A = this chain, B = another copy of it.
């Protein structure tokens, strides 16, 4: 048995620590996404990364640190792009929101990353460090950008109800809905996210001249 093990054990690789770290996070992401924090065993992560249990601990002090660095490490290129567009007033507000939802679908909802968002929604309240980070780095910035965008739309007179400037969270709500629906109910009933977003935008904005309302 020992002999077999010795013969079969795969050769030890010594790779770039950054890459190894990334591999572990990749594996961890897939495990956490599938089974949540508690349901994931460090051994699973290691196995998925193709390394030994102990190796994970060379890169992350413990399970929680791995989880936190996983969910915290997710930058928000979407927000950055929308933020940049808003900054330079690249396009009219409605187009910007269209871009936002389109990016959200392409980059989050239709990729594995949607699991990450679900993870945060589901496990966040057990990790205040995570929610604090999220609020500070992502949410408050997102709210700020959305508010600017909505204000601009309001000034331009293109909003049906300018008061929603007060609650930019409303813009995020349909996005969260699609994430949650897809995780929980998509198997039983399809939700057409494209249409959901389109309908929402049509509700938000006055029709352009020449459009059929």
Contact = CB atoms under 8 A, between A and B. Distances in A.
Contact of A174 (B126, B135, B139, B170): B170
A124 B183 contact: yes
Interface string A42-71: 000000000000000000000000000000
Contacts of A204: 203
Interface string A118-153: 101111111010011011100110010000000000
A150 to B, nearest CB: 11
Given A135-B188, A139-B185, A170-B199, A125 B118 contact: yes
Contact of A125 (B172, B184, B203): B184
A39 B37 CA distance: 10
A9 interface: no
A164 B122 contact: no
Interface stretch (A23-31, A86-94, A102-110, A189-197): A189-197
Given A135-B184, A167-B199, 7 more contacts: A36-B38, A120-B184, A121-B121, A131-B184, A161-B202, A166-B192, A176-B176
Interface in A71-118: 118
Q: Which of A35, A173, A191 has the most chain B CB within a 10 Å cutoff?
A: A173
Contacts of A118: 121-122, 125
A170 B196 contact: yes
A2 B121 CA distance: 39
A18 to B, nearest CB: 11
A163 interface: yes
A203 B169 CA distance: 14
